[in-house]
Structure 1
Amino acid sequence: MEKSTEQEDILNLLRSVKSGKLTPEQVIEKLRAEPFSDLDYAKVDYHRSLRQGMCETIYGKNKTPEQIAGILSDMRKNGARNVIVTRISQTTADFIAEQNIPMDYHVIPQLGIALPGEKRQQVGNIVIVSAGTSDMAVCEEAALTAEILGNKVTRIYDVGVAGLHRLLARLDVIIEARVIIAVAGMEGALPSVVGGIASCPIIAVPTSVGYGANFEGLSALLTMLNSCAVGISVVNIDNGFGAGVVASRINRMKGV
């Protein structure tokens, strides 16, 4: 079978190591910078997994179903598996299925896991705590992201500060966590409370859930940024995916 240009390039790099022209470290640096597929409307990065430990994620909002299907078709040809596709509607998910592209679609977070393959062994202990049921879409985006990256995830939902006894009833789980993702809208007080209890790193996620003065999550974001509890970092409003990735990297650190 004829070798692709990418395969020939990699083989030439390996031959250079064998001949002594390049060191293994120099080859790794070269591989970090290339290659990608140019689809005109998207440039799909195929060495992101080498650089970051996970393949490229597709942010689906404002992309057409045809564009998403085209990217996934190209990724399938290049051997990608367990591709996370965020912020897509049921209609888009149905269109992708019609193109014979396998994908597990999750309605609440509007997230799909396309081209499902072998799952990583789940390790560690990430605990996701939400203030209310209305925050569940962001929570599930974080949870599914962390799980596909090989992390054990425990969900504790609807334990906000309006009924603090609900949170304290799960104190044993919180204390045993390696990383906590605390998700809240409204005034965004939950991460501060959790930060006063837990000794592990906490990733706070403000959500756009709330009435008018919540300013679509801005009030929760500012509360979390101004928390007096230590050990809290904050991601952007509604960014469950980002929180899941950061939590995974902390949870899977060697020696942690």
Structure 2
Amino acid sequence: MDVSLKQVLQAVSEGALSPSEAYDSLKGYEDLGYVKIDHHRTKRKGFPEVIYGEGKTTEQMIGIFTHLIEKHDTVLATRIDGEKGQAVMEAIPDVRYDLVSRTLLYRKTEQKPLHSRPIGILCAGTTDLPVAEEAAITARAMGNEVKRFYDVGVAGIHRLFDQLEDIKSCSVLIVIAGMEGALPSVVGGLVNQPIIAVPTSVGYGANFQGLAPLLTMLNSCASGVSVVNIDNGFGAAYSASLINRVGLEEGE
């Protein structure tokens, strides 16, 4: 039985906690009216609930952050525009906004990586940086060391080969590309790490806002390539972190 559950039941039996108070403690979420904050996400997934910022007002963001940081040492929000990010920072000074990745991050204390196995993040070109940095900040927030390999697209493939040995030192690779989306397949034929491919909406008309690289990556002839949704750096980093955590409990 979970230690906290034992403590709650003990408090109820001793009369220190009413049944309704015990229920509020155990139900696992906090209802703010416009949102139900999942405080048990950490127990299930190993990381607190991440806030998706698009469509939320500044006041809602401030309210959610305020309640999350009361119970969690790390709080992350994605897809935050500059105006909203600045407003949240002014209201909660311990929160940091990154304009490139469009993320807000709160950390109670600066954390060292949980282990020495880095996640490698590759992107084809500079215009893919917002997605790459969303992935990098998410991976770091989840306790991973990150190595960045940017602007290594297939149009100048010698740039990729020049860093290949360092890339091979990573445990999981997130490979990001727009245009025709060829980079994950190329990398997949050169390394033995699991690859999470991220198509981006970068490209001319026939890119179809990322649909062309998405289909390329789904049809990769290289084995070991998994694909997330268009521009989803966050989702790629979350999956990479779960992969990287395997064996961590055994002290590997």
Query: Which of the five TM-score ranges fits, normalised by the shorter chain?
Result: 0.7 to 0.9
- Provide Cα deviations, 1:27-76, integer angstroms capped at 9, x if missing partner: xxx9xx83101011100000100000000100001110110001111123
Shift of 1:12: 3.3
Within 2, Cα distance between the matches of 1:14 and 1:223? 57
- Does the CA contact (< 8 Å) of 1:81 and 1:116 recur in 2? yes
Letter in 2 for 1:12: V
Partner of 1:95: 87
Shift of 1:101: 4.6
Match among 111, 134, 147 for residue 141 of structure 1 = 134
Shift of 1:14: 5.7
Partner of 2:105: 113
Unaligned runs of 5+ in 2: 13-22
Match among 120, 132, 142 for residue 127 of structure 1 = 120
- Does the CA contact (< 8 Å) of 1:103 and 1:116 recur in 2? no
Partner of 1:127, secondary structure, is strand
Within 2, Cα distance between the matches of 1:142 and 1:205? 10
Shift of 1:93: 1.5
CA 1:129–1:82: 2 relative to 1, 3 Å: same
Q: Does 1:200 align with 2:193?
A: yes
- Provide Cα deviations, 1:102-124, integer angstroms capped at 9, x if missing partner: 21111101111025434243421
- Does the CA contact (< 8 Å) of 2:53 and 2:78 recur in 1? yes
- In the superposition, the TM-score normalised over structure 2's length comes to 0.87
Match among 11, 34, 45 for residue 27 of structure 2 = 34
- Does the CA contact (< 8 Å) of 2:86 and 2:97 recur in 1? no
Match among 155, 176, 186 for residue 179 of structure 2 = 186
CA 1:71–1:156: 2 relative to 1, 3 Å: same
- Does the CA contact (< 8 Å) of 2:113 and 2:140 recur in 1? no
Letter in 1 for 2:159: R
Within 2, Cα distance between the matches of 1:205 and 1:14? 49
Match among 69, 93, 100 for residue 76 of structure 1 = 69
Q: Does 1:152 align with 2:145?
A: yes
Within 2, Cα distance between the matches of 1:121 and 1:130? 22
- Does the CA contact (< 8 Å) of 1:122 and 1:147 recur in 2? no
Unaligned runs of 5+ in 1: 1-6, 17-29
Partner of 2:231, secondary structure, is coil
- Does the CA contact (< 8 Å) of 2:89 and 2:97 recur in 1? no
Partner of 1:234: 227
Within 1, Cα distance between the matches of 2:107 and 2:155? 41
Within 2, Cα distance between the matches of 1:99 and 1:176? 41
CA 1:126–1:90: 2 relative to 1, 3 Å: same
Q: Please give the root-mean-square deviation of Cα atoms over the aligned residues, in Å.
A: 2.1
Within 2, Cα distance between the matches of 1:60 and 1:183? 22
Partner of 1:12: 8
